């Protein structure tokens, strides 16, 4: 905490931008030294007066007494000089020790924790609290005039809001310009950060919270059937066909009937990956945990990417979406039901889609559509004048259309001519998501030095498994 002293200035006084806390402590130490010196000066004056009395009384006072008084005066003067020297040395030593401790505290309070997977917000808050408590402890001084009573300098200080606002403005200017600020008010504001020798480059309050942009996704993983496998694909035998039959007369022999066939459904897994990079220096010095931040960002992007594929993926190197199948009621087809208008939603269209679904799946059906499509559907009314959309009456209850719950998907098409804007399905029966492994990360600090590369991948697949359990509403007359 050394400061530059200009010619003619008091070397013991801190500059104007020295923090108020340090000024208070140093003022107290100086006052202690001044009080001690004043006591010694008073004692010296008493001795000088006694000596004058002895000098004026020569011949009237016993010679032995005069000699004893003279020796006593000389002895006290010698001790006084020794005490003066010790007191000066003690004050200098205490000021130096306090200065070193204050410097250590300031560095500890301003240092941003390095990126460490084991560092938590609670641990950082605890460390700062301990440092602040130690600082306050150091600033509790004793008042010699009150027999050892203590008082807290920190609590007695007032917060200067205007000065802090000026500091915040000057700090932003400092970040934007590669030059030192010379204006006195800016320099004073920047020194609010405690350390006048560079501490103003560190803002006193920098939250480790990061404001993140929210991206909309698709809820298929929450609705569909999810399987975890240990190989590269999963297969089922599907009993989709039925046996032939007929009526036989009393004297007639029935003809041969058809034999039902079994189908096989196979869903392979595909690799979704990302390769973000960060410098080693950034990983070490950043105020937030960059590795965790990157992992969270990649995981979020994977969820949105796979969700979009579950809806509209073409199945080539990625999951196949339910919107990509041809219309029909046979194997490998998803029926598309006209919604009674060429360019808009209608209440009759929702009724047509709802009751095209087999009753067994209808009781467990959930609507899926874009957020904007839901907004359009909220205006529709039935023949009795009642809205077909009903809000959920509880926090854990979804809103409904014609009594069935509604979920929103950002990948579903909005309302335009010939768009597949509405889907209704028993999703746990209709669509299956296959996971081979969760997200894996390979940390590579060698290949692209000085960057550290995080090769992140996940193996996932998805496809329609029951074509009867899903219906699509197409904007068509």
For residue range 244-258, what is the model confidence (pLDDT) as tens digits? Answer: 888 888 777 778 888
**Dihedrals φ, ψ of 458, to 5°?**
-150, 145
Question: pLDDT over 90 for what percent of the chain?
Answer: 32
Q: Span 181-191, mean pLDDT?
A: 44
Rounded (5°) CA angle 55-61-64: 100
**Topology annotation, domain 220-245+256-474:** Major capsid protein gp5 fold (3.30.2400)
What does the mean pLDDT of the chain come to? 75
Strand partners of residue 277: 453
Q: What is the pLDDT of residue 345?
A: 95
Q: What is the pLDDT of residue 339?
A: 94
Q: Span 169-185, mean pLDDT?
A: 49
CB atoms within 10 A of CB 269: 20
Residue extents of the structural domains in the chain:
20-157, 158-208, 220-245+256-474
Q: Is the model's pLDDT at 303 over the cut of 70? A: yes
Contact predicate 345/388, CB 8 Å: no
Of residues 204, 176, 206, the one with CA closest to residue 189: 204
Q: What is the pLDDT of residue 150?
A: 42
The H or E element that residue 184 is part of is: helix 184-190
């Amino acid at each position: 905490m050394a400061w530059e002293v200009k010619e003619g200035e008091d070397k013991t006084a801190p500059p104007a931008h020295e923090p108020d806390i340090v000024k208070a402590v140093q003022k107290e130490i100086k006052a202690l030294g001044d009080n001690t010196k004043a006591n010694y000066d008073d004692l010296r004056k008493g001795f000088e007066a006694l000596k004058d009395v002895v000098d004026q009384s020569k011949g009237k006072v016993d010679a032995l007494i005069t000699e004893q008084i003279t020796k006593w005066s000389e002895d006290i003067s010698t001790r006084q000089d020794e005490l003066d020297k010790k007191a000066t040395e003690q004050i200098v030593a205490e000021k130096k020790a306090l200065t070193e401790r204050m410097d250590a505290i300031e560095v500890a309070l301003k240092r941003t924790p390095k990126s460490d997977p084991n560092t938590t917000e609670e641990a950082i808050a605890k460390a700062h609290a301990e440092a602040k408590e130690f600082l306050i402890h150091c600033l509790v001084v004793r008042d010699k005039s009150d027999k050892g009573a203590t008082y807290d300098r920190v609590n007695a200080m007032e917060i200067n809001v205007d000065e802090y606002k000026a500091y915040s403005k000057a700090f932003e200017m400092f970040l934007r310009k590669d030059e030192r600020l010379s204006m006195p008010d800016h320099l004073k504001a920047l020194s609010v950060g405690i350390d006048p020798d560079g501490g103003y480059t560190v803002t006193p309050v920098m939250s480790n919270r990061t404001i993140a942009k929210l991206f909309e996704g698709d809820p298929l993983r929450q609705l569909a059937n999810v399987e975890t496998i240990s190989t590269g694909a999963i297969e089922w035998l599907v009993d989709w066909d039925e046996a032939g039959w007929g009526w036989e007369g009393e004297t007639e022999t029935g003809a041969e009937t058809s034999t039902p066939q079994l189908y096989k459904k196979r869903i392979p897994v595909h690799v979704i990956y990302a390769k973000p990079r960060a410098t080693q220096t950034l990983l070490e010095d950043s105020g937030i945990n960059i590795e965790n931040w990157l992992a969270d960002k990649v995981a979020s992007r994977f969820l949105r990417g796979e969700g979009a594929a579950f809806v509209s993926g073409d199945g080539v190197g990625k999951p196949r979406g339910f919107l990509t199948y041809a219309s029909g009621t046979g194997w490998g087809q998803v029926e598309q039901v006209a919604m009674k208008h060429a360019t808009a939603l209608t209440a009759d269209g929702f009724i047509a889609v709802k009751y095209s679904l087999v009753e067994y799946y209808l009781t467990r059906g959930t609507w899926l559509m874009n957020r904007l499509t839901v907004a359009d559907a909220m205006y529709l009314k039935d023949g009795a004048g009642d809205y077909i959309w009903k809000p959920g009456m509880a926090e854990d209850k979804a809103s409904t259309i014609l009594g069935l719950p509604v979920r929103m998907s950002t990948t579903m098409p909005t309302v335009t001519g010939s768009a597949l804007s509405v889907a209704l399905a028993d999703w746990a029966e209709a669509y299956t998501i296959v996971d081979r492994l969760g997200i894996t990360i390979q940390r590579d600090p060698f290949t692209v030095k000085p960057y550290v590369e995080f090769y992140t991948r996940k193996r996932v697949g998805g496809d329609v498994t029951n074509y009867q359990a899903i219906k699509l509403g197409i904007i068509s007359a």
